[in-house]
Chain A
Amino acid sequence: MSVGSMLFYIFVFPGLLFLLLWTFFVFYFARKTLAYLHKRVGPHYNGPAGSLQTVWDIFKLLTKESITPKSADPYLFNIIPIITPIIAALPVILIPWTPLINDGRAILDTEYGVLGLVVLIGVEPFLLFLTGFGSNNKYSFLGGMRILAQMLSMEAPFFLAALSPALLFGTMNLYEIMQNSTWLTSLILLPGAIIYIIAMLGILEQPPFNIPDAEQEIVYGFYTEYAGTNYTLLKFAEFTEILVVSAAAVVLFFGGYRGLFFDSFWWLFLKVALIALIIVAIRASNPRLRLDQMLKFCWSWLTPLAVLNLVWIIFARLYLLGA
């Protein structure tokens, strides 16, 4: 790998610039769709159909003062917002984005792709817990505790569901999983995909599992004390994680960038946008669950179902695909 292409990967695609553009897009997309479902107009004045509004918003946030509370641990408080987006952005090198780069393989084409993805996604919540811990604020701390409880329980079904394609195709290489997938395998993997998406809502703290930053209860959870640049970085990390987790879903279950007639990045993008649409639609129509209800749902329904799903995958591999 030459230095030039390395810099291109880091700063342009699928690195910084791409992630920034994605953040602008998904922020705008969520606001506009939600506004439509709310019977509102949403962003309207800046740019065509208000599309520049989110860009302005993010740059406005960057110009704001970044306040460190007196009682907070200044090092922990300020270093987490730098680490979090980096960790959140790391999994992009494991995902095969487009046929144009690296012969359609991921930048880091490894036999342990699924494992790497699962680990890097799993680290994120602990960093967010540390933001709550470092703020030394009651609401932030409660938010941090909640995120820990939610992650510990939601990661079990999430990982079990993410394992199902690896089990079906007998490989953990994301490129091979993607290349081997057909209409039939997507159908076999559908229960796994549904479990993955439900658990994904929990991992990403999206409604109905937006318990850690429930603003009616604990103000803004672990975000409460953050402002300005730090807040922007944390939000950037959140949107990056949404991209990574939904792109992983598309690669694992729905054939990645492969599509009808031709293979392209835009197929992947379309599928990711559809998942984002599902997230927004759920958000617009469902209230938040209580922490104990979420735990109960997760451990007495979702996790057992995820285990059953593995049984189904093995059955399908043996008898339907005839491995």
Chain B
Amino acid sequence: MREKLKEIIGRYDVEYIEDYRSWVKAKLKNKEDLLPLIKELKKAGVKSCSTVSPTDFIDENRIEVNYFLENLNPTKSSKEEEKVNVWLKVDLDRDLQNCEIDSITPIMPSANYHELEAYSTFGVKFRGHPNLRYFLISRDYYGKFPFRKDFDFKEHEKNLIENINAITDEFLEEFEEHEKTIGHEGSRTVLHWGPTHPASGPIRLKVFTNGEIIEKVEPDIGYVWRALENLVERKDFIGAIVAVERICFMDNPNPMICYSEAVEEIAGKEITPFAKYMRVILGETGRIASHLISMGSFFGTMGLQTFLMWCLDVREYFLDVLEDYSGARIATSCIEPGGVRYPLPDPEAWFNEIDKAIKKWEKVKPDIEDIFLKNPLMTKRAKNTGVFTLEDVEEYFLAGPVARASGAKIDVRIDEPYAGYADLEMDYVTCENGDARDRLYIIVKEVDQSIGLIKQAIEKIREGIEKGEMNPSKDHLIKMPKKLPAGESVRRIEWARGEILMHLVTQDKATSPYRLKIKTPSVNHTMMLENLLPGHTLSDIPLLYGSMHICQGDLDR
């Protein structure tokens, strides 16, 4: 596979082709080559675009656009089969007029929102994009491209009142436009599902309906846009974790693992085995905490709050585990470059806490299965609703539980193991139908898988302590250099809702990241709503939306 991809890329005019972990990394000389190359790559099996990430090198007067193309291979047959991805780079002129490149959205629809985001924040124009518009950023940033290095946030904040007026004007204009185009005759109307809707969270879906039937959906995002990618550039390498962990409060430790590993790679450091297993335990605890909320809110979307309350009850125990270790329940900041933040002076006491949480889940589980998972009304609502096929998974890069519910064998923990996962036994957990109900079942299965992983990691740590290889009160952190060399790294982790990819760029003697691109799964899942919802009724919006486990925190960043 790797050789084949290299051969295809080698036919074009490239500066270099090299191997990088599971990626084939190449830099194109001509931006015109991009489209034909991507067409060929798609034929060869690299069908999904993970993200499009521009980097602004202001000193060299260029913008480098990175394309992360992934070979998801959802029908992977044997464990040995490698999934080789492609990482392409193209240089563009920094000048706004010439900062243009062909859009790959017509070939790979999964690039759609990522290209819009790159356009809105960096001003890279994508020729041939089906609907190139400003996205994610609010009206006052239109045409200013806030992630470029020469954008001054402080200067921008000075005109606060005008900025707010610009945002409200946009709504009024839109309202008047709808009055004109749709009017009051007939059964067609626009409903705003969000941002202050009981079930939506801070996102707005413009739902064009005919009576109860949905005709078109336009997501409007950016209500919790905190510019995290830009924020980390103003912090040092340790301080950046507090920005990274705030991607979404529900699964807190995992994004920090991703970021820390990217930093460690540039620094050229290897962390201790003890820290690796600690990362597994913390990461899986975070995953369970997140899944418990996802499960509960799945029923919440259908007006049943009991399950959510029961899940929150169990979740408290898993948050206790995080609190015991780090002192915080939600924003733990417990993983940092170099290992994990705190030593573990009394491992057995902490393991007992984990045991308590696991026992609580196992006690509640039979009741949950009987009352909720087999509920006939839920089955009636969710079965065979909103089905995703394997083609959809590849086409739109659905990730994590949503992909696995369709039977796709995708899991970064196995495909490209990080932290301590390489030494643990695990297999793909999948469901078959890919409907909304399976997206609930897969989550329950994954909680059990996570518990299994936690138990294995605890065993490994116990063994290590027994043999004297691990010292829990010393091994947690290795010394990291204060300044990092120039370099870049890409890391992927399996987050609770799917794959997170972080692309970190540093410059020489760096004390803070030069650029950190965070790719999150909810972007693709929200993109999918446009194709999924039309034809369904209004009642299906919350159900299907909830079944994708979308979190606005990681959607907007």
Contact = CB atoms under 8 A, between A and B. Distances in A.
B310 A292 contact: no
B61 interface: no
Interface stretch (B78-86, B372-380, B405-413, B424-432): B372-380
A291 interface: yes
Nearest to B371: A285
Nearest to A149: B212
B386 to A, nearest CB: 13
Contacts of A44: none
A293 B309 contact: no
Interface stretch (B96-104, B134-142, B272-280, B295-303): B295-303
Interface in B510-557: 537-542
Given A138-B191, A285-B375, A286-B375, A215 B198 contact: yes
Interface residues of B, number: 30
A216 B303 contact: yes
Contacts of B309: 38-40
Interface string A95-129: 00000000000000000000000000000000000
Contacts, number: 79
Nearest to B196: A219
Interface string A129-172: 00000000011001000000000000000000000000000000
Contact of B299 (A139, A215, A287, A292): A287
A208 B305 CA distance: 13
B197 interface: yes
Contact of A287 (B303, B310, B537, B540): B303
Interface string A209-225: 01100111111100000
Contacts of B199: 215-217
Interface in B66-96: none
Interface string B286-322: 0000000000000111111110011001000000000
Contacts of B189: 138
A38 B309 CA distance: 6
B268 to A, nearest CB: 50
A233 B191 CA distance: 28
A38 B306 contact: yes
Interface string A43-69: 000000000000000000000000000
A290 B541 contact: no
B380 A293 contact: yes
A207 B305 contact: no
A216 B301 contact: yes
A281 to B, nearest CB: 10
Contact-size category for A: 20 to 34
B311 to A, nearest CB: 10
B381 interface: yes
Nearest to B376: A286
A138 B377 CA distance: 28
A90 B441 CA distance: 49
Given A38-B306, A207-B303, A215-B303, A287 B198 contact: no
Contacts of A208: 377
A38 B372 CA distance: 13
A219 B377 contact: no
B304 A214 contact: no
A38 B23 CA distance: 48
Contact of B538 (A215, A217, A220): A217
Contacts of A287: 299, 302-304, 375, 377-378, 381
B303 A288 contact: yes
A216 B541 CA distance: 9
A211 B537 CA distance: 13
A38 B313 CA distance: 9
Nearest to B305: A38
A286 B304 contact: yes
A285 B380 contact: no
Nearest to B302: A287
Interface in A215-252: 215-220
Nearest to A282: B377
B542 A290 contact: no
Contact of B306 (A284, A290, A293): A284
B535 to A, nearest CB: 13
Contacts of B302: 216, 287-288
Contacts of A38: 305-306, 309-310
B381 A290 contact: yes
Contacts of B372: 285
B422 to A, nearest CB: 39
B401 to A, nearest CB: 20
25 contacts: A38-B306, A40-B309, A142-B191, A142-B212, A211-B539, A214-B539, A216-B198, A216-B300, A216-B302, A217-B538, A217-B539, A219-B198, A220-B198, A285-B375, A287-B299, A287-B303, A287-B375, A287-B378, A288-B381, A288-B539, A289-B380, A289-B381, A290-B537, A291-B212, A293-B380
Given A207-B303, A215-B198, A217-B539, 7 more contacts: A39-B310, A214-B539, A220-B198, A284-B304, A286-B377, A289-B377, A291-B539
- Cβ-closest 3 pairs across A and B: A287-B302, A216-B199, A38-B309
